[in-house]
């Protein structure tokens, strides 16, 4: 059971601060990897909450493997995002304010494969043709940290 799931036993659906890692995966065509989420039926970016005892990079590596079946040679920290814009209310009523360590995965290996039940599909999208995004993913892709990283890929 995850740390947040365990915490929810005590706080119910009240807002909690959730610290996690979000992983930007770009292919050779400068397209971003997104996952179709099972909880909101919108597209999101690979990532999730930190577990007890994990570093943020370990969280990034675990989430990348669980959600996409991929491994990174290393991660580049692009920035840390937080604030009101990262408030989210899940369809089940759970509320969270997310603090995101935003990473770019470098040296990707493996084949795309979903290893958890959090998404139904993985797909690369051109940055100019993005599907309907989960609100936090939209915020991340509009952030200065992401824009700087994306500009350096072109």
Q: What is the model's pLDDT at position 153?
A: 63
Q: What is the model's pLDDT at position 117?
A: 84
Q: What contacts 106, CB < 8 A, 6 or more positions away?
A: 72, 73, 74, 75, 76
How do the domains of the chain map onto residue ranges?
A: 3-153
> Residue for token digits 């993985």?
122
Which superfamily does 3-153 belong to?
Nucleoside Triphosphate Pyrophosphohydrolase (3.90.79.10)
Q: What is the model's pLDDT at position 151?
A: 73
Q: What is this structure's pTM? A: 0.93
């Amino acid at each position: 059971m995850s740390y947040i799931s365990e915490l929810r036993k005590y706080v119910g659906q009240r807002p909690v601060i959730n610290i996690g890692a979000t992983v930007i995966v770009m292919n050779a065509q400068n397209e971003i990897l997104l996952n179709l989420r099972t909880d909101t039926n919108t597209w999101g970016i690979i990532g999730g909450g930190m577990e007890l005892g994990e570093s943020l990079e370990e969280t990034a590596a675990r989430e990348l493997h669980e959600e996409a079946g991929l491994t990174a040679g290393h991660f580049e920290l692009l920035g840390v995002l937080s604030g009101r814009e990262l408030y989210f209310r899940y369809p089940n009523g759970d509320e969270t304010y997310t603090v995101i360590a935003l990473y770019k995965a470098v040296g990707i290996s493996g084949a795309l494969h979903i290893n958890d039940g959090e998404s139904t599909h993985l797909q690369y999208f051109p940055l100019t043709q993005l599907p309907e995004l989960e609100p936090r993913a939209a915020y991340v892709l509009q952030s200065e940290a992401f824009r700087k990283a994306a500009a350096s890929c072109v």
